[in-house]
Amino acid sequence: MEIFKGVHKKGNGLYTKGKNLEEWNPYKSKPAAAILLGLQNFPVKKGQKILYLGAAHGTTLSHFSNIVGDKGLIYGVEISAKIISNLVEKVKKKSNVVPLLEDARFPEKYGWIGNVDLIYEDIAQRDQVQILKRNKIFLKERGIIVITLKAKAIDSLKEVKEIYREAIKELSKDFEILEVLDLEPYEHDHLFIVGNMK
């Protein structure tokens, strides 16, 4: 059963379709967790151009690649040289993924990518909200943002709900918040936020 364009549900499992159906594990991929928790505003669509901040080993990025298809394109920004070698290996058969060894705090270093439809951020840093805001220069008009907010990476001592409130307040200065989901029980102290440019 297709629940979003390009996202299939069989039994209790989620899948995206590359050459074959690929299982999308909610314990290893936050968008999969969000979908199973009732996400209404699934942001990834066929043909999109995406800037993915914090691409890591490419688990989620690979599923996004399946969804955007041959007419889509994903720029996967990763700061770790060791990790990006794994990412390159994982996506070498995917012609719509461009891995970038860059620090997302300095978007001017990859300014050549041009405008994108969606920025997806999954970065465990204290300044993760500010990093997203710096990268908004790439968004098309009414472009979409997704941030998987990691409360304990922002502040390990402050109460999680207070971190969430402050982050949403800060994001709301630049973006219209469309949906917010706590990712328990798949991820602890993580908030999945979908918005778009005001």
Q: Is 105 left (phi over 0), alpha (psi -120 to 50) or beta?
A: alpha
Its CATH architecture, for the domain 26-197, is 3-Layer(aba) Sandwich (3.40)
Average pLDDT, the chain: 94
The confidence score (pLDDT) of residue 170 equals 96
The confidence score (pLDDT) of residue 110 equals 97
Per-residue pLDDT of 39-72, as tens digits, reads 999 999 999 999 999 999 889 999 999 999 999 9
Extract long-range pairs of 2-7: CB within 8 Å, 24+ residues apart.
3/35, 4/35, 4/42, 5/45, 5/46, 5/67, 6/44, 6/45, 6/46, 6/66, 6/67, 6/69, 7/35, 7/42, 7/67
Per-residue pLDDT of 84-105, as tens digits, reads 888 888 888 899 999 999 999 9
Delimit the domains of the chain by residue range.
26-197
Give the pair of three-digit tokens for residue 68: 């955007």
Pick out the chain residues at pLDDT < 70: none
Give the pair of three-digit tokens for residue 113: 């990518």
